[in-house]
Structure 1
């Protein structure tokens, strides 16, 4: 099975208002193994990045000015991802931009070349409801080092996401829960402790006798055996 972990950087948040893709990073997995056959391109968007986006990725107009335009890399990107399952964190954002870029060129949508899409943000929310599920938070949760991540970069983020995805989907190897501490927005810490030994306390003879008295009263009310007889030991 061939999978491509993908990330993009953009000039802003909305392709419909003119924002463009400026970086694409892809990491290849074949049968859940990193192959090293990665894909990475900087792209000249022919416009400036928004101030907020520039603060995130640090890719200046000057740096991108001599990079290829999207139409120059569209075919090699299509060939690279063709037939693969694509893994993206918050997939609607990246796919919205890539579909828009392909549409500008009169090409079939980006997703039409993929065999499927996995959104790790959706998966993370299902696995860890109510917790932080950003890429940084998942790196912390799964022990993936991101200490070298000062700014967002498409290839670096795709590499981190590949490690996170493999950890998320490796399966549970123990019946105990990992020791984890989450902090709410107001700074209150919630600590999840490993499961301890389950202690079962059996009912005493007196308790069983009282329980039988209650069931006998229910039997009388329904003129037969009450439903709780199916779940109760006979005394």
Structure 2
């Protein structure tokens, strides 16, 4: 099954209040395995970048000033995501901004039935624990040493690894077990005979003397337990 892991960076928290998307990063997965295909773009938000938001992702007005507007790349983005399920962390936030940008281009919104929220998955699987992307990377041993600031593509790549762990582990979709089994079935093994002398069978029956000593030992027992269950003759 094809799935898209994605993340966004924005000028703030409220698209209804005028905030805009400034970056999107998408990672393609097939059967829980990254294919290597990605979509990554920066956008000119056509408004100033608040210092609080810049401190989070490091995207300045100067950096974004020559970047395309969302409307210029919307067709490429929609072609990439196609009809695949879309996975994000705190997905309602990213869906809100994505659909807001689509509405500005007079495009249909992405149906929320396609949304998979890894934050919800994490809360269900590990109630009471920390559920930030950093915390989940630490929990599952995902290397986040390159994450100095938030970045949409890097965060999507990290989230892809976290998503695999949240949904069953790294072997899902790899088919390694089936392939290994099939390969083992096809393998011909030649067994070389070992040249060594064969010992005669060892006698396991007691000798007459051993049998007599055992009979005398039993007869000397006072009120043995098994006599309670023996029917009188």
Q: Give the structure-1-normalised TM-score.
A: 0.70
Higher RCO (CA-CA < 8 Å; seq separation 6+): 2
- How far is the alpha carbon of 1:35 from its aligned partner? 0.6
Q: Distance in 1 between matches of 2:101 and 2:169?
A: 37
- How far is the alpha carbon of 1:52 from its aligned partner? 1.2
Task: Name the stretch that deviates more: 97-106 or 149-158.
Answer: 97-106
Matched, 1:25 2:25: yes
Check whether the contact 1:84–1:115 (CA below 8 A) recurs between aligned residues.
Answer: no
Q: Distance in 1 between matches of 2:86 and 2:77?
A: 13
Q: How many residues get paired? A: 171
Partner of residue 161 from structure 1, selected from 159, 162, 165: 159
Check whether the contact 1:88–1:120 (CA below 8 A) recurs between aligned residues.
Answer: yes
Check whether the contact 1:56–1:151 (CA below 8 A) recurs between aligned residues.
Answer: yes
- Matched with 1:130 is 128
- How far is the alpha carbon of 1:115 from its aligned partner? 6.8
Q: Give the structure-2-normalised TM-score.
A: 0.71
Note closer, same or farther for the CA distance 1:172–1:64 as it changes in structure 2 (3 Å cut).
closer
- How far is the alpha carbon of 1:116 from its aligned partner? 1.6
- How far is the alpha carbon of 1:171 from its aligned partner? 5.0
Cα RMSD, aligned residues only: 1.6
- Matched with 1:116 is 114
- Matched with 2:102 is 102
Q: Distance in 1 between matches of 2:169 and 2:3?
A: 18
Question: SS state of the match for residue 45, structure 1?
Answer: coil
Task: Give matches, 1:85-234, under 5 Å.
Answer: 85-109=85-109, 111-112=110-111, 116-170=114-168
Task: Give matches, 1:16-55, under 5 Å.
Answer: 16-55=16-55
Question: SS state of the match for residue 23, structure 1?
Answer: strand
Structure 2: state its 5+ residue gaps: 172-233
Structure 1: state its 5+ residue gaps: 174-235
Q: Distance in 2 between matches of 1:49 and 1:64?
A: 9
Question: SS state of the match for residue 36, structure 2?
Answer: coil
Q: Distance in 2 between matches of 1:30 and 1:136?
A: 24
Question: SS state of the match for residue 36, structure 1?
Answer: strand
